[in-house]
Amino acid sequence: METSSHSDSDKETADLSVVLNDHKHWFKSVLGLGALEAKLWVASGAQLLALMCGVIFLLLTTWLLIIATSAVIAWSYGFSLVGILATATLVTFVSAMVLLYLVRRTLKNMGFTRTLDAIIPSQEE
């Protein structure tokens, strides 16, 4: 009878070893898939960043050309060069202030407390 219980114990250990080994392989494949997905996200993120830098450069160049064109048109109509440069400086400054306001508003709305409260409700609720 001892031989039977001993072989049952060996069989259970072998079955457990097979199950653990199968789970290790499954977990390794899931982690490998996650790592591959992360590599794709990083590569796509780098490409997106490069494209956005190009877009920003082109938008900045366009904005400066619009100001320069407006200045040339104003100068051709007889406006003073000092007035044109002061107006262009003022327009650029106001544009920067509008963008700064939009950045601050966006940063203010980027709070992660709503997500945290959804996952772990606070004591007050």
Q: What is the pLDDT of residues 61-89, one digit of tens each?
A: 999 999 999 999 999 999 999 999 999 99
Domain presence at residue 53: yes
Classify residue 16: in a domain, yes or no.
yes
Provide the sign of the torsion angle of the four alpha carbons 97, 99, 103, 108, taken in this order. positive
Residue-number span of the structural domain to which 6 is assigned: 1-61
* pLDDT band at residue 114 using 50, 70 and 90 as cut-offs: low
- DSSP at 120: S
Cα distances from 96 to residues 22, 70, 83, 102, 115, in angstroms, run 59, 18, 20, 10, 32
73 within domain boundaries: no
Domain count of the fold of the chain:
1
User: Could you give the CA distance from residue 41 to residue 35 in angstroms, rounded to a whole number?
Assistant: 10
Check: pTM over 0.85? Answer yes or no: no
Residues 6+ apart with CB under 8 A from 74: 83, 84, 87
